[in-house]
Amino acid sequence: MSTSSIPARPRMTSQDYQAFDALFALSSSIGSTDAGGLHRLTASAADKQMRDAFCLWLKQQGFSVHVDEIGNIFGLMTLVEGAPWILCGSHLDSQPQGGRFDGAYGVTGAAATIAALVRQLSEKPARNLAVVNWTNEEGARFQPSLTGSSVFTGALSLKHALACEDAEGVTLQAALRSIGYDGNALPPLPLAAYLELHVEQGPHLEQQQKQIGVVTETWAALKWQVTFRGEQNHTGPALMSRRRDALLAAALTIVAVRAEADRHGEVLHTSVGRLETAPNSPNVVTREATLFIEFRSVDEALLQQLRDSFSQQMQSIAQQTATDVSLDRAQFRPRQQLDNSLSQLALAQAEKLGFSAMPMRSVAGHDAISLSYHCPSALLFVPSVNGLSHNEREFTAEQDLHRGLDVLMAMLSELSLAPEAAE
């Protein structure tokens, strides 16, 4: 066979980029903030508006749409009856006053790329294609994070996920029902692979002057929800020596969490990203303070050590402040290797396209990590300006966004058209 008779692989065209740009701009406009960011919490009015717009777009492009019981939205392109699926996606929910690229790029980019690929197919593929919007990836309104993808893979039960409550006591089930996205069980969807596009949310690609990052492994994470309980009292006459101030205990704990990172250097990242207090009045000694603590490291042994040593520190803080402490929720996410064959394919396709690429680790959690326990998975990064994320000033240049689509298109083309590539 002459090389001239071999069909050219599909590629993104200028019209395809424009279709993506328009869909991404639509996403950026729903729940937008005055500072150019995004405030689109799970199952909020803005989330409903975005979900409605996304489902409409999918139907207009020829996808069949299915919403499962946890609210995940699947756009399905059935190309070969009975064949396994290549699933791509991310999430459309955001952090409070967050960025417009985090998550939304992966969903809109996957949808636009799959639509472009299907239009260009000139030979029968061996795989079906689908895009997904995972529910509550961020974990901002409901905990834990990665909810939708964890239910899909069986790592989290549907019952427990739907029972999660927000700060107002609203369950995820009730919230999804209120916006019309409490769906039905998904028919069997055997996956050959899962691919996810994402902005890096860190500075490494920019620092190394690379255009594409291919995640080969992730850091481990230890996440705690901890509550100190003291005694409510008047902030004026209550004797200082008699106070049982839960907020003081929380403050000492926050300082201790940061001290662990300072002690261990860059191998450990720590944070207390959320603090809830009661009664939360300026004239009342705090009776209860709940902290959301995170320790992240590539060193699982270090996290195991911290699990014991920091528990003892919190007990000491409770004793020092005459409060009681409880561990209300604990989650350990182990270090995870992503599929090597998909990582190598991504690096090879980036090189063919003339892009500079590098393998890298991800400190942040992503739906691709959930899926990696279920099927071969790949996670692709494009640069984030100044490494800033979960911030209204989060930004990735249009050209970098388009390069990510190019690599995704090349991978989808290879995996869908070559039967042996996704086995």
Distance CA 19, CA 248 (A): 53
Q: Is the pTM of this model over 0.85?
A: yes
Burial class of residue 279, CB neighbours in 10 A (0-12, 13-18, 19+): exposed
Model pLDDT, residue 419: 63
**What are the percentages of helix, strand and coil residues in the chain, rounded to 5?**
40, 25, 35
State which fold the 7-219+335-422 domain adopts: Aminopeptidase (3.40.630)
Domain 220-333 falls under CATH 3.30.70.360: yes
Cα angle value 361/364/367 (rounded, 5°): 100
Place of tokens 């008047």: 234
The upper half-sphere exposure of residue 138, i.e. CA atoms within 13 Å in the direction of its Cβ, equals 27
Tens of pLDDT along the chain (423 residues) come to 444 445 678 999 999 999 999 999 999 999 999 999 999 999 999 999 999 999 999 999 999 999 999 999 999 999 999 999 999 999 999 999 999 999 999 999 999 999 999 999 988 899 999 999 999 999 999 999 999 999 999 999 999 999 999 989 999 999 999 999 999 999 999 999 999 999 999 999 999 999 999 999 999 999 999 999 999 999 999 999 999 999 999 999 999 999 999 999 899 999 999 999 999 999 999 999 999 999 999 999 999 999 999 999 999 999 999 999 999 999 999 999 999 999 999 999 999 999 999 999 998 889 999 999 999 999 999 999 999 999 999 999 999 999 999 999 999 999 998 765 444
Binding residue per annotation — 234? no
Binding residue per annotation — 299? no
* Alpha-carbon separation of residue 340 from 84, 164, 344, 379 (angstroms): 20, 35, 6, 11
The residue ranges of every structural domain in the chain are: 7-219+335-422, 220-333
Cα angle value 221/216/297 (rounded, 5°): 25
Q: Which two tokens stand for residue 171?
A: 């369950």
Model pLDDT, residue 8: 74
Looking only at the bridges linking them, the beta strands covering 377-382 and 284-285 are unpaired
Looking only at the bridges linking them, the beta strands covering 128-133 and 85-90 are parallel
Contact 66, 74 (CB under 8 A): yes
Distance CA 17, CA 128 (A): 22
Model pLDDT, residue 365: 85
Model pLDDT, residue 296: 96
Closest by CA to 203, choosing from 161, 266, 296, is: 266
* Amino acid (1-letter code) at residue 78: T
Distance CA 29, CA 234 (A): 46
A 10 A CB-CB count for 289 gives 25
Bridge partners, 131 (sequence order): 75, 88
Binding residue per annotation — 138? yes
Please provide residue 381's backbone torsions phi and psi, each rounded to the nearest 5 degrees: -110, 145
Helix 14-29 crosses helix 398-417 at what angle (to 10 degrees)?
A: 120
Q: CATH topology of 7-219+335-422 equal to that of 220-333?
A: no
Closest by CA to 43, choosing from 111, 100, 92, is: 92
The DSSP annotation for 241-277 comes to: GG---HHHHHHHHHHHHHHHHHHHGGGEEEEEEEEEE
Helix 45-60 crosses helix 104-120 at what angle (to 10 degrees)?
A: 10
- The helices-and-strands tally (H runs, E runs) of the chain is 12, 15
Distance CA 408, CA 404 (A): 6
